[in-house]
Structure 1
Amino acid sequence: MVVPVFRIYDYEKSVKFYVDWLGFKIDWQDIPQDGPLYMQISLNDIVLQLSGHHGDCSPGAKVMADKKDLKLFHEKIMAKDYKFMRPGLERAPWDENYLLVTVIDPSYNKIEFVEKIK
């Protein structure tokens, strides 16, 4: 398994984005009093690690994640009151047989959820 690591800056904004809005769960977290946080989150078989450590990675990364029932997922997140992002559900520009929903977290990391429909 490959687990991408995203650099984040704000724990509370990241939790609102990933957990409250997208539906990820926190698998574990390390939040020391005097240091940066590190945590793992998951949404079914999608696993990400979020890091406040400056040397781990750069903000603004992008991952693609296969997501079953993407239309239903899109409806579910759009029904929530998350005022910072209202992504569309669209055909992938690189292949019309795929749907995609692109979201950008508060630290400018991007996830493209994709589903093959044909």
Structure 2
Amino acid sequence: MFSIEQAKQMAKRLRASLETRDQAVPHATALELVAQQLGYKDWNTASAMLPQESPPPAITFDKPIPILRMFDEIKAREFYLDFLGFSVEFEHRFEADLPLYLGISRDGLQLHLSEHHGDASPGSTVFVPMHNIERLRDELLAKRYGYGRPDIVQQGWGQVLEVHDPFGNRIRFCQS
């Protein structure tokens, strides 16, 4: 819904646009035109019905980034980077000998891996809707990873390709 202030700004922009086309109109005419565009009989009706201020912006959420627990940096890199094909976005340690917090991504999917005790529980599952699941399966099988040869399972909701990391976490890739 528009506010009175937004409607006035629309009228101001309308006047400016018409002036560039040598079609100058009084401010009152621009207000009447905006009121009609917003579905009101005239500006007096619109100004009586429109709220004084804009409503607060709607709450919106960006996509979540799952955090998975890891215990061994070398095994995590072998699984997530070498086998699954993720790339490192960032690495963070408070000091050189403290736990690693690692951000990784692949084709729009972001994951965070953490050695910090309180960040996540081992044995978590992440469900990942996707497209071209057969291509992912073929890519993973071609790597001949020593700890898993995932295959697609047909479920009632779609095709599922599940991989298990060295820390007991599961990623379920699913194509509807």
TM-score in terms of structure 2 length: 0.62
Higher strand proportion, which one? 1
Q: Shift of residue 22 of structure 1?
A: 0.7
In 2, the alpha carbon distance for the partners of 1:56 and 1:83 equals 28
Aligned residue type for 2:164: I
Pairing of 1:12-91 with structure 2 (within 5 A): 12-31=74-93, 32-91=95-154
Gaps in structure 2 of 5+ consecutive residues = 1-62
Aligned residue type for 2:69: R
| CA RMSD after TM alignment | 1.0
Gaps in structure 1 of 5+ consecutive residues = none
| Aligned positions, number | 113
SS of the residue aligned with 1:19? helix
Q: Shift of residue 81 of structure 1?
A: 2.4
Q: Shift of residue 14 of structure 1?
A: 0.7
**Moved segments of 4+, more than 3 Å:** none
Greater relative contact order: 1 or 2 (C-alpha under 8 angstroms, separation 6 or more)? Answer: 1
Aligned residue type for 1:66: P
Structure 1 or 2, whichever has the larger Rg, is 2
